[in-house]
Amino acid sequence: MDKIVDAFVVQELRLQVQRQQGMDGFVNKVVSVLVAEAYSNTFYQILSVIMVGDGTMSVDQALLARSIYVVLVTLLCPFWGWFFSKREKGHSFLSVMMDQLGKICPVLIAWGWKDWASQLDTWAGPALWDELIVALVLTVVVVGVEVIPFYRKAKARVAAGGDEDTILMRIVTFPCSLALMLGYIWNSVASYPVGKIQDLEGGFEYKWAIQSAYTIVAAVIITNVTVQITKRTEAKTAEGVGITDGSKPSGGLKISQHFESLVGDGFSHTIITTLSFIYAWAVLDTMDDWSFGVMNQCASYSSCSPQANFSYSVGILFCFSSGAFILQRWSETEPGNFVLCKAIHLQTNAMIMTVGWAWMNFYTVWTAAATKKMGAGGTIWVYVISLFVVNFSVAGFVYLFHGITTGLEKYHKSVFEAIKAADPGAAHREP
Protein backbone atom coordinates (compact mmCIF):
# COMPACT_ATOMS: atom_id res chain seq x y z
CA MET A 1 0.00 0.00 0.00
CA ASP A 2 2.83 2.39 0.88
CA LYS A 3 4.44 1.79 -2.51
CA ILE A 4 1.18 2.66 -4.25
CA VAL A 5 0.94 5.89 -2.26
CA ASP A 6 4.57 6.72 -3.02
CA ALA A 7 4.04 6.10 -6.73
CA PHE A 8 0.97 8.35 -6.67
CA VAL A 9 2.87 11.15 -4.91
CA VAL A 10 5.77 10.89 -7.37
CA GLN A 11 3.36 11.04 -10.30
CA GLU A 12 1.66 14.12 -8.84
CA LEU A 13 5.04 15.78 -8.35
CA ARG A 14 5.88 15.04 -11.97
CA LEU A 15 2.61 16.64 -13.11
CA GLN A 16 3.29 19.69 -10.94
CA VAL A 17 6.66 20.11 -12.60
CA GLN A 18 5.04 19.88 -16.05
CA ARG A 19 2.38 22.45 -15.11
CA GLN A 20 5.00 24.79 -13.72
CA GLN A 21 7.02 24.46 -16.91
CA GLY A 22 3.89 25.21 -18.93
CA MET A 23 3.14 28.30 -16.85
CA ASP A 24 6.78 29.36 -17.12
CA GLY A 25 6.51 29.14 -20.92
CA PHE A 26 3.25 31.13 -20.81
CA VAL A 27 4.81 33.94 -18.79
CA ASN A 28 8.01 34.11 -20.85
CA LYS A 29 6.16 34.26 -24.18
CA VAL A 30 3.79 36.97 -22.97
CA VAL A 31 6.50 39.25 -21.61
CA SER A 32 8.73 38.58 -24.62
CA VAL A 33 6.05 39.91 -26.98
CA LEU A 34 5.65 43.05 -24.87
CA VAL A 35 9.39 43.72 -24.63
CA ALA A 36 9.90 43.03 -28.34
CA GLU A 37 7.21 45.57 -29.25
CA ALA A 38 8.74 48.11 -26.85
CA TYR A 39 12.14 47.81 -28.55
CA SER A 40 10.64 47.87 -32.04
CA ASN A 41 8.53 50.97 -31.37
CA THR A 42 11.33 52.82 -29.60
CA PHE A 43 13.91 52.33 -32.35
CA TYR A 44 11.33 53.04 -35.05
CA GLN A 45 10.50 56.38 -33.40
CA ILE A 46 14.19 57.27 -33.10
CA LEU A 47 14.81 56.41 -36.75
CA SER A 48 11.74 58.39 -37.86
CA VAL A 49 12.99 61.47 -36.01
CA ILE A 50 16.46 61.10 -37.51
CA MET A 51 15.04 60.67 -41.01
CA VAL A 52 12.21 63.22 -41.14
CA GLY A 53 12.22 65.15 -37.87
CA ASP A 54 8.71 66.04 -36.79
CA GLY A 55 7.09 65.08 -40.10
CA THR A 56 5.21 61.92 -40.98
CA MET A 57 7.19 59.40 -42.99
CA SER A 58 6.06 58.35 -46.43
CA VAL A 59 5.46 54.68 -47.23
CA ASP A 60 8.93 54.42 -48.80
CA GLN A 61 10.62 56.07 -45.81
CA ALA A 62 8.72 53.87 -43.36
CA LEU A 63 9.83 50.74 -45.24
CA LEU A 64 13.42 51.99 -45.18
CA ALA A 65 13.22 52.63 -41.42
CA ARG A 66 11.84 49.15 -40.78
CA SER A 67 14.55 47.67 -43.02
CA ILE A 68 17.31 49.43 -41.07
CA TYR A 69 15.90 48.21 -37.77
CA VAL A 70 15.45 44.62 -38.91
CA VAL A 71 19.02 44.45 -40.25
CA LEU A 72 20.40 45.80 -36.97
CA VAL A 73 18.35 43.44 -34.82
CA THR A 74 19.21 40.44 -37.02
CA LEU A 75 22.94 41.13 -36.64
CA LEU A 76 22.99 42.22 -32.98
CA CYS A 77 20.53 39.78 -31.38
CA PRO A 78 22.55 36.63 -32.23
CA PHE A 79 25.57 38.17 -30.45
CA TRP A 80 23.36 39.26 -27.57
CA GLY A 81 21.77 35.83 -27.21
CA TRP A 82 25.11 34.02 -27.58
CA PHE A 83 26.72 36.20 -24.89
CA PHE A 84 23.96 35.63 -22.33
CA SER A 85 23.78 31.90 -23.08
CA LYS A 86 27.49 31.48 -22.32
CA ARG A 87 27.46 33.26 -19.00
CA GLU A 88 27.11 31.38 -15.73
CA LYS A 89 23.53 31.05 -14.52
CA GLY A 90 22.53 32.50 -11.18
CA HIS A 91 19.51 33.32 -9.02
CA SER A 92 20.11 37.00 -8.33
CA PHE A 93 17.89 39.72 -9.79
CA LEU A 94 20.62 40.80 -12.21
CA SER A 95 21.29 37.24 -13.34
CA VAL A 96 17.60 36.54 -13.95
CA MET A 97 17.28 39.82 -15.86
CA MET A 98 20.27 38.89 -18.04
CA ASP A 99 18.79 35.46 -18.76
CA GLN A 100 15.49 37.07 -19.72
CA LEU A 101 17.23 39.45 -22.11
CA GLY A 102 18.90 36.48 -23.76
CA LYS A 103 15.60 34.61 -24.12
CA ILE A 104 13.83 37.47 -25.89
CA CYS A 105 16.43 37.69 -28.67
CA PRO A 106 14.57 35.31 -31.05
CA VAL A 107 11.35 37.24 -30.34
CA LEU A 108 13.07 40.54 -31.13
CA ILE A 109 14.11 39.14 -34.51
CA ALA A 110 10.66 37.65 -35.10
CA TRP A 111 8.87 40.87 -34.24
CA GLY A 112 11.28 43.01 -36.24
CA TRP A 113 10.69 40.93 -39.37
CA LYS A 114 6.94 40.89 -38.74
CA ASP A 115 6.87 44.71 -38.61
CA TRP A 116 9.02 44.83 -41.74
CA ALA A 117 6.66 42.45 -43.57
CA SER A 118 3.69 44.53 -42.44
CA GLN A 119 5.28 47.66 -43.88
CA LEU A 120 6.23 45.79 -47.06
CA ASP A 121 2.61 44.70 -47.40
CA THR A 122 1.47 48.32 -47.02
CA TRP A 123 4.05 49.44 -49.58
CA ALA A 124 2.94 46.75 -52.07
CA GLY A 125 -0.69 47.88 -52.04
CA PRO A 126 -4.08 47.06 -50.48
CA ALA A 127 -5.34 44.61 -53.11
CA LEU A 128 -5.60 40.88 -52.41
CA TRP A 129 -3.17 40.08 -55.23
CA ASP A 130 -0.58 42.40 -53.68
CA GLU A 131 -0.80 40.62 -50.34
CA LEU A 132 -0.81 37.19 -51.99
CA ILE A 133 2.33 37.94 -54.02
CA VAL A 134 4.16 39.23 -50.93
CA ALA A 135 3.13 36.14 -48.94
CA LEU A 136 4.20 33.71 -51.68
CA VAL A 137 7.56 35.39 -52.26
CA LEU A 138 8.43 35.51 -48.55
CA THR A 139 7.35 31.89 -48.06
CA VAL A 140 9.45 30.66 -50.99
CA VAL A 141 12.48 32.55 -49.68
CA VAL A 142 12.15 31.18 -46.13
CA VAL A 143 11.54 27.59 -47.25
CA GLY A 144 14.38 27.88 -49.77
CA VAL A 145 16.79 28.93 -47.03
CA GLU A 146 15.66 26.07 -44.78
CA VAL A 147 16.55 23.58 -47.53
CA ILE A 148 20.18 24.78 -47.80
CA PRO A 149 22.49 22.19 -46.18
CA PHE A 150 24.70 24.84 -44.54
CA TYR A 151 21.67 26.34 -42.81
CA ARG A 152 20.59 22.94 -41.52
CA LYS A 153 24.11 22.21 -40.23
CA ALA A 154 24.26 25.61 -38.53
CA LYS A 155 20.89 24.98 -36.90
CA ALA A 156 22.10 21.63 -35.57
CA ARG A 157 25.30 23.20 -34.20
CA VAL A 158 23.37 25.92 -32.36
CA ALA A 159 21.01 23.31 -30.91
CA ALA A 160 23.96 21.17 -29.79
CA GLY A 161 25.62 24.10 -28.01
CA GLY A 162 29.22 24.02 -26.90
CA ASP A 163 32.07 25.33 -29.06
CA GLU A 164 30.09 24.85 -32.29
CA ASP A 165 27.46 27.32 -31.11
CA THR A 166 29.09 30.49 -32.47
CA ILE A 167 27.79 33.98 -33.27
CA LEU A 168 28.09 33.28 -36.99
CA MET A 169 26.02 30.11 -36.69
CA ARG A 170 23.33 32.06 -34.82
CA ILE A 171 23.24 34.76 -37.50
CA VAL A 172 22.89 32.12 -40.21
CA THR A 173 19.94 30.50 -38.41
CA PHE A 174 17.86 33.68 -38.02
CA PRO A 175 15.19 32.29 -40.45
CA CYS A 176 14.11 30.07 -37.53
CA SER A 177 12.46 33.20 -36.12
CA LEU A 178 10.50 34.10 -39.27
CA ALA A 179 7.39 31.98 -38.60
CA LEU A 180 5.68 34.96 -36.99
CA MET A 181 6.31 37.02 -40.12
CA LEU A 182 4.82 34.34 -42.38
CA GLY A 183 1.88 33.88 -40.04
CA TYR A 184 1.13 37.59 -40.12
CA ILE A 185 1.37 37.97 -43.88
CA TRP A 186 -0.71 34.84 -44.62
CA ASN A 187 -3.27 35.97 -42.06
CA SER A 188 -3.64 39.16 -44.12
CA VAL A 189 -4.46 36.97 -47.12
CA ALA A 190 -6.79 34.59 -45.23
CA SER A 191 -8.70 37.38 -43.46
CA TYR A 192 -9.09 39.53 -46.60
CA PRO A 193 -12.47 37.99 -47.61
CA VAL A 194 -13.58 38.09 -43.97
CA GLY A 195 -12.99 41.83 -43.92
CA LYS A 196 -14.96 42.27 -47.13
CA ILE A 197 -17.93 40.37 -45.65
CA GLN A 198 -17.71 42.44 -42.46
CA ASP A 199 -17.86 45.64 -44.51
CA LEU A 200 -21.29 44.64 -45.82
CA GLU A 201 -22.82 45.60 -42.48
CA GLY A 202 -21.66 48.41 -40.20
CA GLY A 203 -22.74 46.97 -36.85
CA PHE A 204 -20.06 45.91 -34.35
CA GLU A 205 -22.11 42.85 -33.35
CA TYR A 206 -22.29 41.69 -36.97
CA LYS A 207 -18.54 42.10 -37.46
CA TRP A 208 -17.84 40.15 -34.30
CA ALA A 209 -20.19 37.33 -35.37
CA ILE A 210 -18.48 37.01 -38.77
CA GLN A 211 -15.02 37.03 -37.16
CA SER A 212 -16.11 34.41 -34.61
CA ALA A 213 -17.44 32.14 -37.36
CA TYR A 214 -14.16 32.51 -39.27
CA THR A 215 -12.18 31.65 -36.11
CA ILE A 216 -14.19 28.48 -35.51
CA VAL A 217 -13.77 27.34 -39.12
CA ALA A 218 -10.04 28.17 -38.95
CA ALA A 219 -9.69 26.16 -35.73
CA VAL A 220 -11.22 23.04 -37.30
CA ILE A 221 -9.27 23.28 -40.56
CA ILE A 222 -5.91 24.22 -39.03
CA THR A 223 -6.13 21.54 -36.34
CA ASN A 224 -6.85 18.80 -38.88
CA VAL A 225 -4.17 20.00 -41.31
CA THR A 226 -1.62 20.18 -38.48
CA VAL A 227 -2.50 16.66 -37.33
CA GLN A 228 -2.20 15.22 -40.85
CA ILE A 229 1.12 16.95 -41.57
CA THR A 230 2.55 15.87 -38.21
CA LYS A 231 1.50 12.25 -38.71
CA ARG A 232 2.92 12.20 -42.22
CA THR A 233 6.22 13.70 -41.09
CA GLU A 234 6.53 11.24 -38.21
CA ALA A 235 5.69 8.32 -40.52
CA LYS A 236 8.33 9.38 -43.06
CA THR A 237 10.90 9.71 -40.29
CA ALA A 238 10.06 6.27 -38.94
CA GLU A 239 10.24 4.70 -42.38
CA GLY A 240 13.61 6.25 -43.19
CA VAL A 241 12.32 8.45 -46.03
CA GLY A 242 10.08 5.74 -47.43
CA ILE A 243 12.62 2.88 -47.58
CA THR A 244 11.40 0.06 -45.37
CA ASP A 245 12.54 -3.12 -47.16
CA GLY A 246 16.22 -2.70 -46.38
CA SER A 247 17.19 -2.39 -50.04
CA LYS A 248 19.62 0.23 -51.22
CA PRO A 249 18.15 2.89 -53.47
CA SER A 250 19.80 3.78 -56.73
CA GLY A 251 21.85 6.98 -57.00
CA GLY A 252 19.17 8.99 -58.78
CA LEU A 253 16.43 7.75 -56.46
CA LYS A 254 18.59 8.45 -53.43
CA ILE A 255 19.21 12.05 -54.51
CA SER A 256 15.50 12.50 -55.28
CA GLN A 257 14.44 11.14 -51.89
CA HIS A 258 17.06 13.21 -50.10
CA PHE A 259 15.81 16.36 -51.83
CA GLU A 260 12.21 15.42 -51.02
CA SER A 261 13.19 14.93 -47.38
CA LEU A 262 14.89 18.33 -47.19
CA VAL A 263 12.02 20.19 -48.84
CA GLY A 264 9.40 18.21 -46.95
CA ASP A 265 10.91 18.85 -43.51
CA GLY A 266 11.33 22.57 -44.08
CA PHE A 267 7.99 23.01 -45.80
CA SER A 268 6.10 20.99 -43.15
CA HIS A 269 7.63 22.97 -40.30
CA THR A 270 6.84 26.24 -42.08
CA ILE A 271 3.23 25.24 -42.72
CA ILE A 272 2.59 24.14 -39.12
CA THR A 273 4.10 27.23 -37.51
CA THR A 274 2.48 29.58 -40.02
CA LEU A 275 -0.93 28.01 -39.46
CA SER A 276 -0.56 28.29 -35.69
CA PHE A 277 0.05 32.03 -35.97
CA ILE A 278 -2.81 32.46 -38.45
CA TYR A 279 -5.15 30.93 -35.88
CA ALA A 280 -3.60 33.02 -33.10
CA TRP A 281 -4.37 36.18 -35.07
CA ALA A 282 -7.93 34.95 -35.67
CA VAL A 283 -8.44 34.53 -31.91
CA LEU A 284 -6.88 37.95 -31.26
CA ASP A 285 -9.16 39.63 -33.81
CA THR A 286 -12.21 37.90 -32.33
CA MET A 287 -11.41 39.08 -28.82
CA ASP A 288 -10.58 42.59 -30.07
CA ASP A 289 -13.87 42.80 -31.98
CA TRP A 290 -15.76 41.78 -28.86
CA SER A 291 -13.95 43.98 -26.35
CA PHE A 292 -13.33 47.13 -28.38
CA GLY A 293 -16.15 46.82 -30.90
CA VAL A 294 -19.16 45.30 -29.12
CA MET A 295 -18.36 46.42 -25.57
CA ASN A 296 -16.64 49.79 -26.16
CA GLN A 297 -18.04 50.70 -29.60
CA CYS A 298 -14.56 51.44 -31.01
CA ALA A 299 -13.41 50.68 -34.55
CA SER A 300 -10.19 49.11 -33.22
CA TYR A 301 -7.92 49.01 -30.20
CA SER A 302 -6.02 52.08 -31.46
CA SER A 303 -9.19 54.19 -31.50
CA CYS A 304 -10.07 53.22 -27.92
CA SER A 305 -8.64 54.90 -24.84
CA PRO A 306 -5.58 53.64 -22.96
CA GLN A 307 -7.92 52.92 -20.03
CA ALA A 308 -10.06 50.60 -22.17
CA ASN A 309 -6.95 48.84 -23.46
CA PHE A 310 -5.62 48.40 -19.93
CA SER A 311 -8.91 46.93 -18.67
CA TYR A 312 -8.98 44.54 -21.61
CA SER A 313 -5.35 43.49 -21.05
CA VAL A 314 -5.96 42.72 -17.38
CA GLY A 315 -9.16 40.80 -18.15
CA ILE A 316 -7.68 38.74 -20.97
CA LEU A 317 -4.62 37.93 -18.85
CA PHE A 318 -6.79 36.52 -16.07
CA CYS A 319 -9.19 34.63 -18.38
CA PHE A 320 -6.62 33.16 -20.76
CA SER A 321 -4.03 32.22 -18.13
CA SER A 322 -6.76 30.35 -16.25
CA GLY A 323 -7.99 28.84 -19.52
CA ALA A 324 -4.50 27.67 -20.46
CA PHE A 325 -4.16 25.95 -17.07
CA ILE A 326 -7.52 24.20 -17.50
CA LEU A 327 -6.64 23.05 -21.01
CA GLN A 328 -3.31 21.70 -19.78
CA ARG A 329 -5.10 19.69 -17.08
CA TRP A 330 -7.52 18.36 -19.73
CA SER A 331 -4.65 17.19 -21.95
CA GLU A 332 -3.18 15.34 -18.95
CA THR A 333 -6.36 13.29 -18.62
CA GLU A 334 -6.24 12.11 -22.26
CA PRO A 335 -2.55 11.84 -23.22
CA GLY A 336 -3.30 9.32 -25.97
CA ASN A 337 -5.77 11.55 -27.81
CA PHE A 338 -3.45 12.96 -30.49
CA VAL A 339 -6.04 15.25 -32.12
CA LEU A 340 -7.17 16.69 -28.80
CA CYS A 341 -3.61 17.37 -27.66
CA LYS A 342 -2.83 19.16 -30.94
CA ALA A 343 -6.00 21.24 -30.65
CA ILE A 344 -5.17 22.18 -27.06
CA HIS A 345 -1.61 23.10 -28.04
CA LEU A 346 -2.94 25.27 -30.86
CA GLN A 347 -5.44 26.98 -28.57
CA THR A 348 -2.89 27.52 -25.80
CA ASN A 349 -0.46 29.12 -28.24
CA ALA A 350 -3.26 31.43 -29.45
CA MET A 351 -4.08 32.37 -25.85
CA ILE A 352 -0.47 33.18 -25.08
CA MET A 353 -0.10 35.32 -28.18
CA THR A 354 -3.39 37.12 -27.54
CA VAL A 355 -2.37 38.06 -24.00
CA GLY A 356 1.03 39.28 -25.18
CA TRP A 357 -0.49 41.25 -28.06
CA ALA A 358 -3.11 42.79 -25.74
CA TRP A 359 -0.42 44.23 -23.47
CA MET A 360 1.60 45.25 -26.52
CA ASN A 361 -1.43 47.14 -27.89
CA PHE A 362 -1.93 48.87 -24.55
CA TYR A 363 1.72 49.95 -24.61
CA THR A 364 1.33 51.26 -28.17
CA VAL A 365 -1.85 53.23 -27.40
CA TRP A 366 -0.46 54.61 -24.15
CA THR A 367 2.79 55.85 -25.69
CA ALA A 368 0.87 57.38 -28.61
CA ALA A 369 -1.39 59.24 -26.19
CA ALA A 370 1.54 60.33 -24.00
CA THR A 371 3.47 61.78 -26.95
CA LYS A 372 0.52 63.26 -28.84
CA LYS A 373 1.36 66.89 -28.03
CA MET A 374 5.12 66.52 -27.72
CA GLY A 375 7.91 67.44 -30.08
CA ALA A 376 10.47 65.04 -31.49
CA GLY A 377 12.85 65.27 -28.53
CA GLY A 378 10.12 64.72 -25.94
CA THR A 379 8.71 61.79 -27.92
CA ILE A 380 12.06 60.02 -27.98
CA TRP A 381 12.53 60.50 -24.24
CA VAL A 382 9.08 59.09 -23.48
CA TYR A 383 9.80 55.99 -25.57
CA VAL A 384 13.26 55.49 -24.07
CA ILE A 385 12.01 55.87 -20.49
CA SER A 386 9.04 53.60 -21.23
CA LEU A 387 11.41 50.99 -22.65
CA PHE A 388 13.47 51.11 -19.45
CA VAL A 389 10.35 50.82 -17.26
CA VAL A 390 9.03 47.89 -19.30
CA ASN A 391 12.37 46.06 -19.09
CA PHE A 392 12.70 46.65 -15.35
CA SER A 393 9.08 45.69 -14.61
CA VAL A 394 9.29 42.53 -16.70
CA ALA A 395 12.58 41.57 -15.04
CA GLY A 396 11.00 42.06 -11.60
CA PHE A 397 8.00 39.93 -12.51
CA VAL A 398 10.16 37.17 -14.01
CA TYR A 399 12.43 37.26 -10.94
CA LEU A 400 9.40 36.79 -8.67
CA PHE A 401 8.12 33.93 -10.82
CA HIS A 402 11.63 32.42 -10.91
CA GLY A 403 11.69 32.47 -7.11
CA ILE A 404 8.39 30.59 -6.95
CA THR A 405 9.65 28.02 -9.46
CA THR A 406 12.92 27.52 -7.56
CA GLY A 407 11.06 27.11 -4.28
CA LEU A 408 8.72 24.56 -5.82
CA GLU A 409 11.66 22.58 -7.21
CA LYS A 410 13.31 22.52 -3.77
CA TYR A 411 10.08 21.32 -2.21
CA HIS A 412 9.73 18.55 -4.81
CA LYS A 413 13.30 17.47 -4.19
CA SER A 414 12.85 17.31 -0.42
CA VAL A 415 9.63 15.27 -0.73
CA PHE A 416 11.24 12.86 -3.16
CA GLU A 417 14.30 12.46 -0.96
CA ALA A 418 11.99 11.55 1.92
CA ILE A 419 10.16 9.00 -0.27
CA LYS A 420 13.46 7.56 -1.51
CA ALA A 421 14.74 7.20 2.03
CA ALA A 422 11.63 5.24 2.98
CA ASP A 423 11.47 3.31 -0.31
CA PRO A 424 14.83 2.96 -2.17
CA GLY A 425 13.00 1.40 -5.10
CA ALA A 426 11.34 4.76 -5.86
CA ALA A 427 14.62 6.19 -7.21
CA HIS A 428 13.68 5.41 -10.81
CA ARG A 429 10.40 7.30 -10.47
CA GLU A 430 12.02 10.67 -9.74
CA PRO A 431 10.09 13.55 -11.42
pLDDT digits (tens, 9 = 90+) for 162-179: 777 788 888 888 888 888
* pLDDT score, position 249: 46
**In the chain, what are the domain boundaries?**
1-56+371-431, 191-243+252-366
Contact 379, 309 (CB under 8 A): no
Tell me: the pLDDT tens digits for 125-158? Answer: 888 888 889 889 988 888 888 888 888 888 888 8
Contact 238, 323 (CB under 8 A): no
For residue 431, how far is the Cα from the chain centroid? 28
Q: What one-letter code names the amino acid at 264?
A: G
> What contacts 24+ positions apart, CB below 8 Å, involve 384-391?
384/42, 386/38, 386/42, 387/38, 387/39, 387/42, 390/34, 390/35, 390/38, 390/363, 391/35, 391/38, 391/97, 391/101
* pLDDT score, position 360: 85
Rounded distance between C-alpha atoms, residue 383 and residue 46, angstroms? 9
Rounded distance between C-alpha atoms, residue 318 and residue 404, angstroms? 19
Q: Classify residue 140 as exposed, middle or buried by CB count within 10 Å of its CB (0-12, 13-18, 19+).
A: exposed
pTM score, whole prediction: 0.77
What stretches in the chain show pLDDT beneath 50?
241-264, 427, 431
> What contacts 24+ positions apart, CB below 8 Å, involve 8-11?
9/415, 9/419, 10/416, 10/419, 10/426, 10/429, 10/430, 10/431, 11/429
* pLDDT score, position 263: 44
Cα angle 61, 64, 69 (rounded to 5 degrees) comes to 130
